[in-house]
A and B are shown apart, each in its own frame.
Chain A
Amino acid sequence: MPRLKRWLTDPWRRPRLLESLVWAYLAWSILPVALAVWFSFNAGRSRSSWQGFSLRWYWQDPELSVWHDPDLHRALLHSLRLAVLTTLVAVPLGVAFAIGLDRWRGRIAGTFNFQMLLSFVMPEIILAVALLFLVTNLLKVVPLGGGAQLLGLVTFQLSYPVIICRARLLSIGGEYEEAAMDLGASPVRALRHVLLPLLAPAIFASAVLVFADVIDDFVLVRYLSSDAATEPMSVKIYNSARSSTTPALNALASIMLASSLLAVALGTLVYRRFTRGERGQESAVGELAVQV
């Protein structure tokens, strides 16, 4: 008993209870997903009883696997296409915006911060419905489907590159560019050979974020899709989570998970390589955490 009493009153004891709570929380947040991935390798049709390991639902099954089922296959390709295209459009546009904003300053910069903060808290359904009505009533030139989806996604992803690149521009300062121009470089050359290489980590980090975010987007792309051919993976999962009876859906979800994790892991590695030796560099993720 005295030992228990001493333990209870010890002001420096480790908070065991708290610690186990944290691990329990992590298990609760990660295990369900891990199990879903695990069952995508099931040899049987069940998503709850294990019948041995196989890659049946990825490509071996001649009809129902992701590789052979044309619907799943198409959803996968559409997701990747949207993610790549959005990244290709939003990132260069965002970088240009960021450089421009850095020159002009003023109220416009606040607009991007406002938009980014707002998109954290505003229910996505509000924006999605508004955009849907816009496209169906006013911008009839943009057909529902890939085009409208791309337009909507670019709009909402634009603030990532703008904000991340602006933060980086602030920490770079104007001296390098001025030095380059003093040494005789034209403004274009200074931009091309000095500023852009210095910005590379930020550009890269925002590309990764945009890519991973677009792959996971659901509400917006669903409303702006036109038919089954323009439904990406997330919509496919939504449509058939309750009705589908095979782990092929789990396989699809696992591929989706793998592609965003791969993008993020690659992004972190490359980002670290870029910024090696720089002091006080927050990682892109850390920067975002601060934004929240």
Chain B
Amino acid sequence: MAWLLVLFLLPFYVVLSIAFGAVDPLFRTPVPVWNPVQWNPFQFELLFERVFGSGGFLGPAFLRTFAFVAAASAICLLVAYPVAYFVTRYAGRRKLLLLVLLLAPFWVSYMMRMLAWVNLLESDGLVNQALVGAGLLGAPFPWLAGQPVTVTLGLVYGYIPYMVLALYAGLDRVDQRLLEAARDLGASRRRTFLLVTLPLSRQAILAGLVITALPMFGDYFTNDLLSGSPRTSMVGNLVNDAVSSPGQGGQAAALVLVLMALLILPMLAYVRATARAAREAGR
């Protein structure tokens, strides 16, 4: 318990102290101020200025993050739902094999999966070779030069296994007898799906959206590997840049706190909903 306290709550207190702390005038390194009474919000004023001010260069990154995450999670849901649906309802004897294949990406490092796409999407990579060879493209397309499409699809590729798993767990719990009853009572396939399956899987859809979307907000490596251009940078990149450039520690702390504040509600909602579901399943 003490361990958890030291390594969970203490770090956040340090982040707070740095975000509200002073800056060493000589070396411009952040100096944490431990006493909350002396906390100073100037890092947040600076951040606010950079996001919303007239010369605000961070604002677009925030908007872009929301757009990318929304698009990527929507695609994840649209692709993952049919997959999970098929595996729960129609897989039959091949269910175990399909499950193993669906879980396989979890055991492949994220970096490896992105590296694979870097290889494929390079200007002389296989994707361009195939598209040019098929006559769909006149010249190789620069996929890796700051294309929003590439970054969004990269995020989809990276996080979709979580969505599939969440939907699978949810759909698997849907009582098959309810579906049979609906069909027996004369509902068509489509009506059964729309009126029975879909409403019953609402919780799973929400859980899936949360566990795919939230980690995307802190993602910077997908972006760095698949684009690397400031034209597609996201909040995660801002944090990473602030951490790695000297003198920006206070900004990094402030950004982390802002990110935390934006995400805390959906995070807690997810944890509560899951804990409740686990309790109900245990009864």
Contacts and interface: CB of A to CB of B under 8 A. Distances in A.
Interface of A: 11, 14-15, 18-19, 21-22, 25-26, 28-30, 32-33, 35-36, 39, 46-49, 108, 110-111, 113-115, 117-118, 120-127, 129-134, 137-138, 151-152, 155, 158, 212, 215-216, 218-219, 223, 233-234, 237-238, 241-242, 249-250, 253-254, 256-257, 260-261, 264, 285, 289-290, 292
Given A11-B189, A25-B79, A289-B103, 10 more contacts: A29-B105, A32-B113, A32-B157, A110-B275, A129-B252, A215-B109, A216-B111, A233-B111, A234-B111, A260-B107
A151 B91 CA distance: 43
Nearest to B267: A121
B107 A241 contact: no
Nearest to A29: B105
> 9 smallest A-B Cβ distances: which pairs?
A123-B218, A130-B11, A36-B116, A32-B116, A125-B218, A216-B109, A237-B111, A253-B112, A134-B11
Given A129-B239, A215-B109, A117 B119 contact: no
A48 B129 contact: yes
A79 B11 CA distance: 25
Contact of B224 (A22, A39, A132, A238): A238
B166 interface: yes
Assign chain B's interface to a size class: 35 or more
Nearest to B236: A125
Contacts of B83: 21-22, 25
Contacts of A137: 14, 17-18, 32
Given A123-B263, A131-B7, A218 B102 contact: no
B161 to A, nearest CB: 7
Given A39-B119, A290-B169, A14 B90 contact: yes
A255 B189 CA distance: 47
B86 A126 contact: no
Given A121-B267, A125-B236, A242 B214 contact: no
A133 B14 contact: yes
Interface string B63-95: 000000000000000010011011100100000
